[in-house]
Structures are given as structure tokens and as C-alpha cells.
């Protein structure tokens, strides 16, 4: 890792940092306001990526004819709901509302959205091929 990468990583939160804050919160340990702000910023900055991933999954499902499948449709609904929850956390962060509980809620929504998006892609890909 270069010097500048080390400096950048020092000032920017990573998913590992957010997970550590969730762990501290769940253990009832003190979480600094700066840690909370950093974690919420990371979650908010990742919300657009998640939105894009879900759009790609929905497009893929439609392109392979899987979007009408109840399993795929349910996974896409779950992904959109998790994304909405993540966006609510991002809006809360932008409004200056922050707490360790909000970090936990945001991280849960983030992981649910990531998992659901991947699940929709996998379920769509494993659908039987169309017969001609």
C-alpha cells in the first residue's frame, strides 16, 4: 500500500470500520460521535451503489425472463425495501441525526440490500432456459 493510500484509509471509513462500530454497539460499549459520523457517512456514500446494483439485478431478471418468477420477484422486493431503509439512514445522516443505533440499522439495511441484489441475480441466472 502506498503512502497516500494509507493516509486516505486513515481518514475514510471502510466497511470493516462500520462492522466494528456495530460490534461495539451490540456489546454496549461506548462509540464516539466521530465514529458514528464516519460510519453513517460511509453508509450514505454507498447507497447509490446499492441502488445501481438493484437496478442491474432487476434488468437482468427481466432480460432472462425471470422477473415474473415469484421467488425472483420477492427477492427484488426485499432488495428495494432494504435499499429504501438504507436511503432513510442516508437522509437521516444528511439531516444531522446520528446515533449508534442508526449505524446498526443502516448496516443491516446495507447487508440485506447487497444480499438480496446478489440473490436476485443468482435466482434469475438459474432459471430454466427458454425453449424455442
* pLDDT on residue 130: 63
Q: In this prediction, what percent of the chain has a pLDDT beyond 90?
A: 61
* pLDDT on residue 61: 92
Binning the chain into helix, strand and coil, the percentages to the nearest 5 are 80, 0, 20
CA separation for the pair 11, 84 (Å, rounded):
28
Question: CA nearest 89: which of 100, 79, 75?
Answer: 100
pLDDT at 9 over 80: no
Query: Is the pTM for the entire model greater than 0.85?
Result: no
CA separation for the pair 130, 16 (Å, rounded):
42
Positive or negative torsion for Cα 43, 45, 49, 51: positive
Of 3-7, 72-76, 99-103, 108-112, the poorest mean pLDDT is in: 3-7
* pLDDT on residue 107: 95
Residue 7: band (very low, low, confident or very high) from pLDDT cuts 50, 70, 90: very low
pLDDT at 111 over 50: yes
**Residue range 29-64, pLDDT digits in tens:** 999 999 999 999 899 899 999 999 999 999 999 999
CA separation for the pair 76, 56 (Å, rounded):
11
CA separation for the pair 96, 36 (Å, rounded):
11
14-30: average pLDDT: 94
Classify 63 as helix, strand or coil. helix
Amino acid at each position: 500500500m502506498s503512502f497516500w493510500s494509507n493516509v486516505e484509509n486513515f481518514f475514510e471509513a471502510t466497511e470493516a470500520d462500520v462492522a466494528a462500530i456495530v460490534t461495539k454497539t451490540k456489546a454496549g460499549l461506548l462509540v464516539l460521535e466521530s465514529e458514528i459520523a464516519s460510519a453513517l457517512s460511509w453508509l450514505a456514500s454507498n447507497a447509490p451503489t446499492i441502488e445501481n446494483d438493484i437496478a442491474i439485478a432487476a434488468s437482468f431478471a427481466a432480460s432472462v425472463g425471470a422477473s415474473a418468477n415469484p421467488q425472483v420477484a420477492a427477492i427484488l422486493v426485499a432488495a428495494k425495501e432494504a435499499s429504501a431503509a438504507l436511503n432513510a439512514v442516508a437522509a437521516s445522516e444528511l439531516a444531522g441525526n446520528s446515533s449508534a443505533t442508526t449505524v446498526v440499522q443502516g448496516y443491516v439495511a446495507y447487508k440485506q440490500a447487497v444480499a438480496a441484489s446478489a440473490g436476485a441475480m443468482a435466482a434469475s441466472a438459474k432459471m430454466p432456459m427458454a425453449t424455442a
